[in-house]
């Protein structure tokens, strides 16, 4: 497998995605897909209710949580520096999230259509990019 996009698992009831260790492009940790060196979270299964991102991860890919409608919470590590475009788009049950002080870039439309989102705790100086 060499390509995963926001529609790959859209609408499924998956809670875990397992990537075999011999895959040259991707890895999985706790049922979530990362790039091979696990520095970037690529894709979360759509039916996941909560996510705790490992400490060595530095980025959330564009559309990584695309329409994860069951997601209520996500914990980001202090190693996180970048949150990609549309990262949490359509996470309609996400109620609050804390952005660690290590995050320096949040791209456009990160929380678009997150209708239940009441609190975004931002602990850093952030530059907005397109």
Residue 124: predicted pLDDT: 53
Residue 128: predicted pLDDT: 55
Tens of pLDDT along 36-75?
Answer: 999 999 999 999 999 999 999 999 999 999 999 999 999 8
Band (125; pLDDT cuts 50, 70, 90): low
* Contact between residue 75 and residue 97 where contact means Cβ atoms under 8 Å apart: no
Band (20; pLDDT cuts 50, 70, 90): very high
Of the two residues 128 and 31, the one the predictor is more confident about is 31
Average pLDDT, the chain: 88
Domains assigned to the chain: 1-125 (3.80.10.10)
* Contact between residue 50 and residue 40 where contact means Cβ atoms under 8 Å apart: no
Mean pLDDT for 72-82 is 93
Q: What percent of the chain has pLDDT over 90?
A: 72
Residue 77: predicted pLDDT: 92
Burial 44-57 (b: 16+ CB within 10 A, else e): bbbbbeebebeeeb
Is the pTM value of this prediction over 0.85? yes
d(CA 62, CA 39): 14
Tens of pLDDT along 92-123?
Answer: 999 988 889 999 999 999 999 999 998 887 76
């Amino acid at each position: 497998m060499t390509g995963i996009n926001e529609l790959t698992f859209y609408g499924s009831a998956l809670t875990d995605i397992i990537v075999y260790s011999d895959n040259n492009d991707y890895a999985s940790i706790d049922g979530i897909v990362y790039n091979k060196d696990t520095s970037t979270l690529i894709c979360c299964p759509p039916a996941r209710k909560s996510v705790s991102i490992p400490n060595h991860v530095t980025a959330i890919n564009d559309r990584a949580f695309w329409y994860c409608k069951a997601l209520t919470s996500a914990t980001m590590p202090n190693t996180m520096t970048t949150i990609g475009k549309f990262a949490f788009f359509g996470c309609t049950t996400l109620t609050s999230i804390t952005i660690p002080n290590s995050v320096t870039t949040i791209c456009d439309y990160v929380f678009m259509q997150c209708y239940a989102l009441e609190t975004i705790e931002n602990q850093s100086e952030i530059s907005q990019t397109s």
